[in-house]
């Protein structure tokens, strides 16, 4: 029997648990998260500020891709991409002219089956500036579409003719004299009473060829025509001089407007593709 360890001794007491870390109270409890939060903000805040101006570009690019996908369901991706590219160039005409008028646009948004729009709070401060902004889109859009004619002639491919025809039609449709279309913008400097003629034409088109897009344009056009004509007749602030355009400038706008219509009509005639349907 081992006598080195007495059997009557009690077992050793367990080691005491370590003391818990001191709890942050008062100011220190909130100071540490705030401090490290500020460090993170200083580290990443600059990068976020650099990315904010690109948000508009990302929105434009994303809406363009969505539009290409939507149109591709009907026409295929090649034609859809070409059509959206023509839309983009058309809207860039408005964007460039707005910058020339001293207006900073807020961005560009594409809406499938409705087109695209450049966001802005002002059209230049006068009816003449509004007309320049309105006509700049069809001018640049028509030039871009006309650039497809040599490609169609060189390749003898109906794809390019059909794309050019669609581009000419797009710009011609936008010249209808009703707000908010580009033709309505031009009429602000030429003859605002033509808004009623354009609105009547849109009503006739809507009843002859019912279409959701035409219904939307009629609704927007009717509201905008009523609002602007009422403000113009009341002589509200900013409208008394807004529609005062020199005769020479009015004539120049008319020449550009009528010239665009004739050129686009000729372009559509040149690029019209006869389609034949068979029972096969």
The pLDDT confidence band at residue 212, using thresholds 50, 70 and 90, is confident
- Number of domains comprising the chain: 1
The pLDDT confidence band at residue 165, using thresholds 50, 70 and 90, is very high
The pLDDT confidence band at residue 41, using thresholds 50, 70 and 90, is very low
The answer to the question of residue 278 being in a domain is: no
The answer to the question of residue 50 being in a domain is: yes
| CA dihedral sign, ordered 155, 161, 162, 166 | positive
Q: What digits encode the pLDDT tens for the residues 241-264?
A: 788 889 999 999 999 999 999 999
The answer to the question of residue 6 being in a domain is: no
Mean pLDDT on 144-162 = 94
Per-residue pLDDT at 230 exceeds 80: no
Q: Pick the more confident residue, 138 or 280.
A: 138
Give the whole-angstrom CA distance, residue 94 versus residue 174: 12
Q: Residue 238 belongs to what domain range?
A: 34-271
H or E element in which residue 110 lies:
strand 107-111
Look over the chain and give the mean of its residue pLDDT values, rounded to a whole number. Answer: 79
The pLDDT confidence band at residue 44, using thresholds 50, 70 and 90, is very low
The answer to the question of residue 166 being in a domain is: yes
User: Of the candidates 187, 170, 164, which has an alpha carbon nearest to the alpha carbon of residue 257?
Assistant: 187
Q: Pick the more confident residue, 236 or 119.
A: 119
The answer to the question of residue 24 being in a domain is: no
The answer to the question of residue 29 being in a domain is: no
The answer to the question of residue 246 being in a domain is: yes
The answer to the question of residue 10 being in a domain is: no
Query: What residues have CB less than 8 Å from 40, skipping those under 6 apart?
Result: none
Mean pLDDT on 155-174 = 94
pTM (two decimals): 0.73
Give the whole-angstrom CA distance, residue 170 versus residue 78: 18
Per-residue pLDDT at 43 exceeds 60: no
Mean pLDDT on 165-185 = 92
Mean pLDDT on 31-52 = 43
For residues 131 and 179, the answer to whether their CB atoms sit within 8 Å is no
Quote the DSSP letter at residue 211.
Answer: -
């Amino acid at each position: 029997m081992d006598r080195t360890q007495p059997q009557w001794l009690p077992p050793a007491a367990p080691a005491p648990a370590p003391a818990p870390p001191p709890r942050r109270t008062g100011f220190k409890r909130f100071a540490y998260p705030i401090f490290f939060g500020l460090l993170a903000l200083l580290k990443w805040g600059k990068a976020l500020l650099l990315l904010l101006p690109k948000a508009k570009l990302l929105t434009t690019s994303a809406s363009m891709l969505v539009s290409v996908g939507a149109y591709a369901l009907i026409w295929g991706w090649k034609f859809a991409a070409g059509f959206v590219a023509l839309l983009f160039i058309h809207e860039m005409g408005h964007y460039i002219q707005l910058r020339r008028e001293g207006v900073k646009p807020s961005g560009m948004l594409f809406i499938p089956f409705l087109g695209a729009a450049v966001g802005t709070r002002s059209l230049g401060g006068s009816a003449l500036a509004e007309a320049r902004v309105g006509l700049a889109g069809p001018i640049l859009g028509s030039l871009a579409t006309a650039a497809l004619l040599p490609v169609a002639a060189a390749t003898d491919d109906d794809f390019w003719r059909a794309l050019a025809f669609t581009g000419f039609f797009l710009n011609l449709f936008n010249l209808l004299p009703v707000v908010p279309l580009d033709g309505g913008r031009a009429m602000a400097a030429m003859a605002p009473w033509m808004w009623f003629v354009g609105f009547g034409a849109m009503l006739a088109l809507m009843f002859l060829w019912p279409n959701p897009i035409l219904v939307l344009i009629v609704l927007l056009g009717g509201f905008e025509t009523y609002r602007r004509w009422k403000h113009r007749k009341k002589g509200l602030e900013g409208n008394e001089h807004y529609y005062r355009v020199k005769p020479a400038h009015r004539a120049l706008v008319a020449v550009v407007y009528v010239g665009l219509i004739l050129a686009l009509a000729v372009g559509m005639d040149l690029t019209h593709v006869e389609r034949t349907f068979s029972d096969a």
